[in-house]
Amino acid sequence: MEEIKGTVKSIIFRNEENGYTVLELVDATGDEITAVGALPLASVGERIEITGTWTEHPTYGRQLRAQGCRTLAPATLSALVNYLGSGLIRGVGESTAREIVNTFGTDTLAVLENEPQRLTEVPGIGRLRAAKIAESFAAQRDMRDIMLALQEFGVTVSQAMKLYKAYGALCLAKIRENPYRLIDDIEGIGFLTADKLAQNAGVERDSAFRLKAGLKYTLQWARQEGHTYLPRDILLRIAASERLLGVELLPTERALDELIIGNEVVYQTVGGVDSVFLPRMHFLESDCARRLLQVVNTPSPLLFLDPEKQVTLLERELAISLAPQQREAVVRALTSGALVITGGPGTGKTTILRFIIRIMQNMGLSCELCAPTGRAAKRMTEATGVSARTIHRLLEYGYDGEGFLRDEENPIETDLIIVDEMSMVDVQLMHALLRAVGSNTRLLMVGDADQLPPVGAGNVLRDIIESETVPVMRLTDIFRQAERGMIVENAHRINNGQPPELTSGTEDFLFEEIAAAEDVARRVVGLCMGRVGRLLTQDPRKDVQVLVPMKKGPLGVYALNARIQAAVNPPSRQKRERRQGDVTFREGDKVMQVKNNYKIGWKKARYNGMAEEGIGTFNGDLGTIMRIDPVEQEVEVLFDDERAAVYDFTMLDELALAYAVTVHKSQGSEFPIVVMPLVGGAPSLMTRNLLYTAVTRAREQVYLLGRSRCIYDMAANAQVKKRYSALGTFLRELAPLIGVAG
């Protein structure tokens, strides 16, 4: 073992997830040394002492493999400037660092640590900025000490940063007190990580403490998979398995019984099967059922105004003759307390909505339009000519600091709420909406029940339809083949289990037979770069969206995003970038928000120079990275070409590259052109409803490429992944009690 002191000249490579770093160090003699190892906090300009052993790399030569590292004060003023200006301290760039060192000289670090108020002596630094710099310096110092101590627990760098952010100086004490609390407190830390910490802290493998945590974690995992509960037998089998607890069933059953007795989980029969819920999920579904059935019983003011006559008058005014199904849907929407309208593309849903809205306006009645995502709301506005909002904005999330402002105490004052893209609405969002539906407000739910279920927990639209407790209008007649050509026709062929027509010769639905995955991947990159003239666009970067069934593999999200990014937005001296785990984000990149963030602020520029402000970006929102600031440690993303949101570097796990996205993540969106590579995959994934959902995301053109056999097999594969949800059961059980006919 040797101890080498020196100044960090450059960081050649760093894995943000595990802290593995390759750096260049200049020692006291001026020699440059390459050091490798877990050096997560070493910064350019910093003076450090590394303990390690010398190794000989076959390609890169002699390297010092670090076993330990501690920080030393910078030896020279220039090194001190480099250290402070390296981006370590928020708000301090190279010029500010130079001013600070010019002012305090060799006393700089002592001032930052003990007399930070003196920073106001530096030209250009006021009281507020001085406080910000001091806070950042202190946080880095405290975090450094704690992160070094956390290494004994095997915590990754990114996890350690989240732990420090949540617990601060009490971080180590909290972990030793109860490692399993991290599951609830820290996003990204699941049972396996907490269990590893617990074992390091001496918690017994079969302790009731551990078994209960494993059972609750299994239910939380199920929620992330879309389930609102699990049957008891399945819960016990998953929790006790070698992949999780690795214990016998009997002690796991005893632990579950204790959770039930302690009301930490809810035990109920669903469809004749003993089932277990997290308390929150049980409340959401049961309360949704109660509130929805109350809306069903809401009387319509149009019952006494002859809605049939209103439809006829509007047909004459607009010179449009509704088909019988469309007319029935309009009348039922005007006269029902709650109604579901479901149907595929081209079945006339937009025309129906226009008639409903216009008649409501003619009668002096109000209605609110909303959808789960910003893109879906924008499409709804364009289709109807009436302003639509996201459900979150309709419910005014965050304007009071926490939660939705609109609820039963402050309901939405309108006669009718119309929700589009209902297939995307999960049980949590549905519950928030129903809480805000006033006693005289009716609800119209519009969606395609044959699309994929929501990303979040529950199966709201399908459960409502199958419960037969809420009126449902199913649209089956197709009215828009001529307008939408083969996209609509093939969508319905797929939905009916028939193979799509791949050789029709039309421009709006193209297919290329390519057998090898590598050849398909190269062709996809070529399409995204505009090298293929068959696309109906001059701007593929803007108009093309690649949709794929899976995340991994040569045609998965991860691999395709890396290849497309390298082709359409390669590294450049004019573009800053930031590495997050295995992904490099670069200015100009297309990105997607991958989890709901209800608190992040955004601004939207207006033509009069004023800026509209709001709160929240949501799972599936698409945007472009406009700016990466290494000094302020933030990334600015422009969503939907209008909303600018700023992310702290620690929040970058909320973003993902979006040149290619999974079909699940595309729900509620519509793109000019959809490119979809298909060569094969697991039958449980390569299903009819996944292919149907992908095709219906395209507005102008679908471009499939790969193996035709794979496409035909998907159209024939009606397998639907089982999703355990109880809303339908609760609706059927409550309907007789509330007075709603089954």
Q: Amino acid letter at 52?
A: G
Give CA–CA dist 378/394, Å, rounded. Answer: 14
How confident is residue 482, by pLDDT bands cut at 50, 70 and 90? very low
Tell me how many degrees the CA angle 588-591-594 measures, rounded to the nearest 5: 160
- Across the chain, mean pLDDT equals 88
Q: Which range is most confident: 169-173, 188-192, 210-214, 344-348?
A: 210-214
How confident is residue 347, by pLDDT bands cut at 50, 70 and 90? confident
DSSP β-bridge partners for residue 407? 410
- Give the pLDDT mean for 527-537: 86
| Helix (H), strand (E) at residue 707 | none
Whether the pLDDT of residue 2 is over 80: the answer is yes
Give CA–CA dist 413/361, Å, rounded. Answer: 15
Give the three-state DSSP class for 438: coil
Express as a percent the part of the chain with pLDDT over 70. Answer: 93
Sheet strand arrangement including 266-270: 229-231, 273-277, 266-270
Find, among 514, 560, 547, 561, the residue nearest to 679 by Cα.
514
Give CA–CA dist 233/226, Å, rounded. Answer: 18
**pLDDT value of residue 400:** 47
Based on the number of CB atoms within 10 Å of its own CB, is 140 exposed (0-12), middle (13-18) or buried (19 or more)?
Answer: middle
pTM over 0.95: no
**More confident site: 169 or 25:** 25
Write the pLDDT tens digit of every residue in 679-726: 999 898 899 999 999 999 998 999 999 999 999 999 999 888 889 999
**More confident site: 607 or 654:** 654
Give CA–CA dist 286/284, Å, rounded. Answer: 6
Q: What is the CA radius of gyration of the chain?
A: 29
**pLDDT value of residue 742:** 47
**pLDDT value of residue 604:** 82
Give the three-state DSSP class for 143: helix
State both tokens at 89: 């301290």
Q: How many CB atoms lie within 10 A of CB 738?
A: 15
How confident is residue 640, by pLDDT bands cut at 50, 70 and 90? confident
Express as a percent the part of the chain with pLDDT over 90. Answer: 53
Find, among 567, 589, 572, the residue nearest to 580 by Cα.
589
Whether the pLDDT of residue 480 is over 70: the answer is no
* DSSP code for 218: H
Find, among 647, 656, 664, 677, the residue nearest to 723 by Cα.
664
**pLDDT value of residue 146:** 72
User: With left for phi above 0 and alpha for psi between -120 and 50, is residue 715 left, alpha or beta?
Assistant: alpha
**pLDDT value of residue 651:** 87
**pLDDT value of residue 452:** 87
Write the pLDDT tens digit of every residue in 402-451: 678 899 999 999 999 999 999 999 999 999 999 999 999 999 999 998 88
Q: Identify the weakest region by mean pLDDT among 151-160, 321-330, 584-593.
A: 151-160
Sheet strand arrangement including 338-343: 388-390, 367-371, 416-419, 442-447, 338-343, 472-475
Based on the number of CB atoms within 10 Å of its own CB, is 504 exposed (0-12), middle (13-18) or buried (19 or more)?
Answer: middle
Give the three-state DSSP class for 168: helix
**pLDDT value of residue 562:** 96
- The angle that helices 708-716 and 486-495 make with each other, rounded to 10 degrees, is 50
